[in-house]
Amino acid sequence: MDSHRKRLEELECKNLVQYATLSKETEGRNYPDTKCEIRTEFQRDRDRIIHSKAFRRLKHKTQVFIAPEGDHYRTRLTHTLEVAQIAHTIAKALHLNADLTEAISLGHDLGHTPFGHSGEEALAEMYSEGFKHNQQSLRVVELLEDKSDDYPGLNLTFEVRDGILTHTDDQKPKTLEGEIVRIADRIAYINHDIDDALRAQIIAPSDLPETALKVLGCTSSERIDRMVKDIIKHSWQQAEINRSQQVKEATDELREFLYNTVYVGSKAKKEEDKAKKLLQQLYNYYNNNPEKLPQEFKNRFEMYSLPRIVVDYIAGMSDRYALKRGGEIFLPRPWLG
């Protein structure tokens, strides 16, 4: 059976371009791990992420709309899947490592808080060492997610962990596959957030900037198609991932439009202050009452500071679990007699 993995590794050597990251040349894992007989190292990472509890919780975490009741609004999970699909398409077309790209995509938001970026802001304000969801995503896969008694976290390869950490902020990924995920993340959220904002009637089609639409298209599928093809055209057989200046500027214009009309001050955000206040109350409550933490977090008292443990607990909550805990802790219960 071991020969099956080796055949896949040989196919990578044969079919991928010289700039691709080969699974057999991975810089490895933090802890020794027996190789799979069937799957490559990056395929194993993809599967470990998909089977993690943190991945399952994404289905009840905010993308833009807090705890949305409509069936068709994106959640953090559907966002993740859309990023993975876009990134996979680009990587395959460029003959880069699609398995690595998919693993990074699926893991990039594992550390995101409940209530989206408002939750991230709340923890960053409360916790003295600050909080960023990309750093928390890395912490999830390296330390928090329990998979084995032999090591903490998921023990992913260096390349996947690097891509997760560098999918946002100013750090540059060490692989082209990581670069693809950075751009695919932006392609996905710009287009699906426009789609959700239109559905919620926060914006109208006529509000979208005409100059950007002329370059990218009037529908979500047209824009994604244009953005993806532009990357493939300008990155083919190149040692870096490129976009045309025209498409980049149009993409940035749409992103700025979203910040001005949807992400800040719109009715989609009217509950954000309440969400932030809830997480701040939970943070103070558990720091003052550490005995109320679940046992798995109390088991970490000797390893990390109490504020760090509380942040880990709250960041891992889904929207609905945070609302449930807040209701149980802070709202009075009716007298049952």
- What DSSP string describes 292-304? GS-HHHHTTTTTS
Quick one: how far is CA 324 from the chain centroid? 24
pLDDT given for residue 32 in this prediction:
93
Q: What are the residue boundaries of the structural domains of the chain, listed by start?
A: 2-269, 272-323
300-332 tens-digit pLDDT: 999 999 999 999 999 999 999 999 999 999 988
pLDDT given for residue 88 in this prediction:
98
Q: Is the pLDDT of residue 149 over 70?
A: yes
pLDDT given for residue 271 in this prediction:
82
Q: Is the pLDDT of residue 141 over 70?
A: yes
3-26 tens-digit pLDDT: 899 999 999 999 999 999 999 999
Burial of 90 (0-12, 13-18, 19+ CB in 10 A): buried
pLDDT given for residue 146 in this prediction:
82
Interatomic CA distance for residues 326 and 218, integer angstroms: 42
pLDDT given for residue 270 in this prediction:
77
Q: Is the pLDDT of residue 335 over 80?
A: no
Q: Is the pLDDT of residue 92 over 90?
A: yes
The string of DSSP letters for 234-275 reads: HHTT-SS----HHHHHHHHHHHHHHIIIIITTSGGGTTHHHH
Confidence of residue 67 (pLDDT cuts 50, 70, 90): low
Higher pLDDT among residues 331 and 223, named by residue: 223
Q: Is the pLDDT of residue 242 over 70?
A: yes
269-284 tens-digit pLDDT: 778 899 999 999 999 9
pLDDT given for residue 1 in this prediction:
61
Task: Determine the angle formed by the axes of helices 220-235 and 245-258, rounding to 10 degrees.
Answer: 140
Interatomic CA distance for residues 1 and 42, integer angstroms: 18
Do residues 162 and 179 lie in contact, with contact meaning Cβ atoms separated by under 8 Å?
A: no
Q: Is the pLDDT of residue 195 over 80?
A: yes
Topology (CATH) of 2-269: Hypothetical protein af1432 (1.10.3210)
Going from the C-alpha of 65 to that of each of 120, 134, 171, 310, 333, the distances in angstroms are 15, 20, 28, 25, 28
pLDDT given for residue 249 in this prediction:
98
Confidence of residue 163 (pLDDT cuts 50, 70, 90): very high
Q: Is the pLDDT of residue 40 over 80?
A: yes
Judged by average pLDDT, the poorest of 71-80, 223-232, 252-261 is: 71-80
Mean pLDDT, the chain, whole residue set: 94
Burial of 136 (0-12, 13-18, 19+ CB in 10 A): buried
